[in-house]
Structure 1
Amino acid sequence: MISYTPRMSDTFVISIELEKRLERGASLYRAFAALDHPFAYPEDQYPEWHPTSYSFRGMVKLFYYREITGESYRSLTRQQELAGIFGLERIPDESVLSRTWRNRFDAEGRGFVTNGAHALVWEVHEADFYAPEVRPLQEIEPSLFEDDAESRPTFTDGQIARTTRLARNHVFESFDSGRAQNAMYEDSRFLELQAFLGMARCGTSQGATRFQFLRGKQYGPHGDTHLRTVKQFDSDELFDGFHEATERLLSVIQSGVSFHRPVTVAIDITTLRYYGNVEGMRMVSGTKEGDERAFKFATLSIVGWNIPIILAIEPVRESSPWDSNPPNRICRVVRRLVRRAQELPIEMVLCDSEFDAKPVYQTLSNLDVDYLILRRTYSAERAAIETMDDDGQDVAVESATAHTDHGSHAMQFLYVPSTKSEGTAVFATNLRVEPAEAEAFCQRYSRRWQIENEYKSIKYDFLAKTSSKDYRVRLFYFVFAVLLHNIWRLTDFLLKAGVDAEMDYAPVLTAGESRLRWFRETSSTATSACLL
């Protein structure tokens, strides 16, 4: 007898085959009846001597059916005609069904059933064809995609392949793990897998299995091998590799279109939530939410009329009660970001109030770049705003000088009507701005809106799932997610540049515009690669 080793990918193949038949108009009853090939199934948790009279394979199919339809145990007992389809003498009573699900299936077995069944429910509703037996989408917990709809993959198999091909052509050679030359897998295989994990919204273990399923068992490494390799990338070399890869992407962009120079850039900080013990975790910081903890990363991005590429990344390490870090000097983070990006001429740097500090002002002035930074409102600013209100003024300009240990420079504080709420916003700049120009000048700050969209895209479209608490893993995953975001923007650029030679940038593609037909588009490959 042939022995079949159960794999999580087998459950997806089952859902693909069922969906094909449903889309051709078959009932779910007939679709199950047509599943006449052997397929791998989870391990039976009952020992051989257990007196149960119900075939485990039949029970797997029955519970698969239940997860697709949402039928209650009582409802199933009233449909004895299902017994023949599933190879059972009869449908068990409610107590047996409940006990079987709890005791005869372990966590992996229950996941095998629910992952495949819920994937089918997703696909039927996404494809929007008539399948009345399939339960409403809102009833299921999307366990395949880890708890929330935003975890659902955004990209088709073809889009993942195209992005990976661009990455191989332009960026992979910038990264080196330092592993031995005779290692079983080249670094490029791990980078391909990382691209797949991010764009398919997978965890490492599940994603590595699916990657092998699609590309061949010998093509890609196992999940644990991938994690061990990721940890071998030196952090400094990782940032150098990102910088080199980004330069290559920019060279492609600049060679094919009229690129606006100098560029306006924005600096901001994003967080990746951390759960667990913080003792000894030097890179974990507190957040504005109080008791939450996170890894923090600062980025510098092109904004405005050019293609929105992230040019530089820097980790942010703060002083927290659980570590011995020195006080954070955000000006040093700003200096490193701007220096990495200054191969492109920078017209202006935009920052939010998190960077409102004289050392930041002076750092940017010393780097010979102009800045526009949103100010925090303290007592001096509130007093100035009250004076403006008394005088009936909407706009005011205050000249000042920034004095620090590393120099001084002339600057101005601009008081203008807030675009977000009633009241007045205050900005700092090292440019000379007349009161009549101040409001229009400060509207440049609105270009920062692109950053929030970038962060959302990075986290929900390109960041691979992981529960690892190891900073090396979280750092690599984030840097690579940013790189995938940049490559996706390059894809957008290449499509648009084929239409217009000169481009005032307005994205053709957003990552969320192409909903994944994951199982549908990989069905031909999947069916040939795995027996049902």
Structure 2
Amino acid sequence: MVASCYSQRSVFRRIAQQSYAEWPAYDSTPLYDQSSPCGLEEDIRTVASTWFDHEAHNSVDEFVSHYPVAYFQFRPHDRYSGATQYGMDQLFRLFLLKEIHGWTHETELVTYISTHPDLREQLGIETVPDQSTLWRTWNERLTAELRETIETTARTVLIKAQDAGVAVPHEPDRRLPFQRDEEESDTSDQAILDEAASITDHVSHVVFPAFSLNRDDGCEIHENAYWDLQTHLGLREGLAANEGARSFVYESTRDRTPLGHAHREHIRNLSIEQIREMYRQAIDRLLNELAGREEFVRAGIVAIDITEADPFTGDRTGHEDEIIGTKEQTDEYAYQWATVQLVGNAVPIVLDARPVQKGDTRKEIVEDLLDSAEAAVHVDNVLMDREFDSQHVLEMISQRGLSYVVPKRMQTSEKAQAKRLLQRGQDRYETDRKLHLGKNEWHETTLIYRRKEDSEYDDHRQYSVFMTNTSSAYLTEYGYRWEIESGYKSIKRFMAATTSKHFGLRLFYFAFACLLYSIWRAVDLLVQVELTGEYEHSPIVTADNTLTLLKKETGIG
């Protein structure tokens, strides 16, 4: 089959329905305009990710000839000022074709185009340019930035096509652009910082275009300055917007920077769903960037948990649905946030974050977060704390075809069983259990009793009870859940301070801190692989180094 108007419409219809994709990119973020090569790279990545999934699209040549580039302004990247025979859009397609096929000499491109009249017609080329014309065009007419975009885009098209099972002219290089040869290895502190600087710059330009304040065109302060300031607030623990904005004036290289109250006001104008959608888009961009590395598997175990802000001591009148009781059932109140995070051998990226409000059930929270997680990665197993031990939550997870490991709060029957095990001196015990769902419906699970080593108790409290719908061998994976608790400590360290009761502002501060944490761990993975050729879970790049580089190296923050 060949690409048709119908198949192309189908592709762009699917892209329009994707909440995490925006095409063209310059329409969705002020970071790009119609002449931005980075925006063009992102656009082609977006389309290629869906294009090759269509049954009629099984040719990389057709993608090159059919991708719509009419909206892109090539003029700033054309160093010729006089009349020319070939348009920049035609030349862009020709050189993209050359890079995709891996030809090192223009003669191979000339021969290929000359012997494929159908392709020549699709490209709109009546007369095939000769080798010398193509050489001069590449070396003298195209800007270095556009040449780099063509090379990067060719790699993207090859990877997306190959991932979809489409035959490609040659094996794509799945190393990221900043990577060196494997034999080069230097893990000194300076080498780590140098590598982290390059990678952080690259990753931030991929991730931050997902965020937008929806400001009017022509604003004097660039939107990047707001993300720069937000990162600056994360550099120092307990730094609020007003104080941070004042110190940012002296540390920033920008001519104009946001005032603290203006920064807060713009964020307050964002809805809860806008904040969450921007976060999911940013994480999807980050995952796409990591997907080219064999050390990163877009699948694995996820942990779901709820964390609390510091106890709220002010007047919560009018905010009772948002400032709710703590999980420990004390007389304190706090804002609460729920997250889903990759754990285990995977790089610990926070896939989604959401607020917890009065009336939200644990089932609704888990279902919502799993929707996001499964849209981003392939989920195998779900780990949760005992506050999620409801049979309705477990049944929902099972219905999704996922396995779970969850500790159970000990009721009378579990305490009695633990006492019997203690009397027998038995360290471990398994039994099947049916949990009542209502209306004569049951959820089948397995209870696993496990005796803690060196317990401080001398009674039945020496035992923990876990529930799982899979092999008891997976119980060892539950130890990975501590990573989400460890992650929360870093995330809260990255949060800007505020006394505001504005729920959207609070959520944004938490979500942005989750993003900074995820960027840190992603940068660390890429640095480790670049310097050592492998990934160890313990980071070699510090969080502070990553935040500082985000602010100083990229100007985006």
Match among 353, 361, 365 for residue 329 of structure 1:
361
Q: Which residue of the partner structure matches residue 270 of structure 2?
A: 233
5+ long unaligned stretches in structure 2: 1-192, 553-557
Please give the alpha-carbon distance, in whole angstroms, between the structure 2 residues aligned to 1:446 and 1:430. Answer: 17
- C-alpha distance after superposition, 1:459-507 (max 9, x if no partner): 12x1112222221211111110110111111221121010344434332
Q: Which residue of the partner structure matches residue 374 of structure 2?
A: 342
Please give the alpha-carbon distance, in whole angstroms, between the structure 2 residues aligned to 1:162 and 1:208. Answer: 27
Tell me the SS of whatever aligns to 2:466.
strand
Structure-to-structure mapping, 1:151-300, within 5 angstroms: 165-166=201-202, 168-201=204-237, 202-216=239-253, 218-260=255-297, 262-273=299-310, 274-281=312-319, 282-287=321-326, 288=328, 290-300=330-340
Structure-to-structure mapping, 1:360-509, within 5 angstroms: 360-404=393-437, 408-418=442-452, 421=455, 422=457, 423-431=462-470, 433=471, 438=472, 441-460=474-493, 462-509=494-541
- C-alpha distance after superposition, 1:256-297 (max 9, x if no partner): 232246311111111112231111112111112623221100
Residues 441 and 417 (structure 1), Cα distance of their counterparts in 2 relative to 1, 3 Å cut? farther
Q: Conserved in 2, the CA contact under 8 Å of 1:197 and 1:464?
A: yes
Q: Conserved in 1, the CA contact under 8 Å of 2:408 and 2:465?
A: yes
Tell me the SS of whatever aligns to 1:508.
coil
Aligned-pair distance for 1:301?
A: 0.9
Q: Which residue of the partner structure matches residue 303 of structure 1?
A: 343
Identity among equivalent positions (%) equals: 30
Amino acid at match of 1:312: D
Structure-to-structure mapping, 1:50-89, within 5 angstroms: none
Q: Which residue of the partner structure matches residue 139 of structure 2?
A: none
Q: Conserved in 1, the CA contact under 8 Å of 2:437 and 2:443?
A: no
Please give the alpha-carbon distance, in whole angstroms, between the structure 2 residues aligned to 1:191 and 1:167. Answer: 14
Q: Conserved in 1, the CA contact under 8 Å of 2:196 and 2:546?
A: no
Residues 444 and 419 (structure 1), Cα distance of their counterparts in 2 relative to 1, 3 Å cut? farther
Please give the alpha-carbon distance, in whole angstroms, between the structure 1 residues aligned to 2:270 and 2:307. Answer: 22
Aligned-pair distance for 1:512?
A: 6.5
Please give the alpha-carbon distance, in whole angstroms, between the structure 1 residues aligned to 2:546 and 2:234. Answer: 15
Aligned-pair distance for 1:335?
A: 0.4
Please give the alpha-carbon distance, in whole angstroms, between the structure 1 residues aligned to 2:533 and 2:436. Answer: 46
Structure-to-structure mapping, 1:117-136, within 5 angstroms: none
Tell me the TM-score normalised to structure 2 length. Answer: 0.58
Amino acid at match of 2:529: A
Amino acid at match of 1:425: S
Please give the alpha-carbon distance, in whole angstroms, between the structure 2 residues aligned to 1:443 and 1:393. Answer: 19
Structure-to-structure mapping, 1:16-55, within 5 angstroms: none
Tell me the TM-score normalised to structure 1 length. Answer: 0.60
Residues 454 and 465 (structure 1), Cα distance of their counterparts in 2 relative to 1, 3 Å cut? same
Aligned-pair distance for 1:347?
A: 1.4
Please give the alpha-carbon distance, in whole angstroms, between the structure 1 residues aligned to 2:230 and 2:332. Answer: 27
Please give the alpha-carbon distance, in whole angstroms, between the structure 1 residues aligned to 2:195 and 2:277. Answer: 27
Q: What is the aligned length?
A: 349
Amino acid at match of 1:459: K
5+ long unaligned stretches in structure 1: 1-156, 319-325, 522-532
Aligned-pair distance for 1:419?
A: 5.1
Tell me the SS of whatever aligns to 1:390.
helix
Q: Conserved in 2, the CA contact under 8 Å of 1:257 and 1:501?
A: no
Moved more, 248-257 or 352-361: 248-257
Residues 514 and 315 (structure 1), Cα distance of their counterparts in 2 relative to 1, 3 Å cut? closer
2:348 paired with 1:316: no
Q: Conserved in 1, the CA contact under 8 Å of 2:391 and 2:443?
A: no
Q: Which residue of the partner structure matches residue 75 of structure 1?
A: none
Amino acid at match of 2:218: N
Tell me the SS of whatever aligns to 2:309.
strand
Amino acid at match of 1:427: F
Amino acid at match of 1:286: G
Aligned-pair distance for 1:209?
A: 1.5
Tell me the SS of whatever aligns to 1:496.
helix
Tell me the SS of whatever aligns to 1:447.
helix
Regions of 4+ moved over 4 Å: 157-164, 405-408, 512-516
Q: Conserved in 2, the CA contact under 8 Å of 1:230 and 1:473?
A: yes
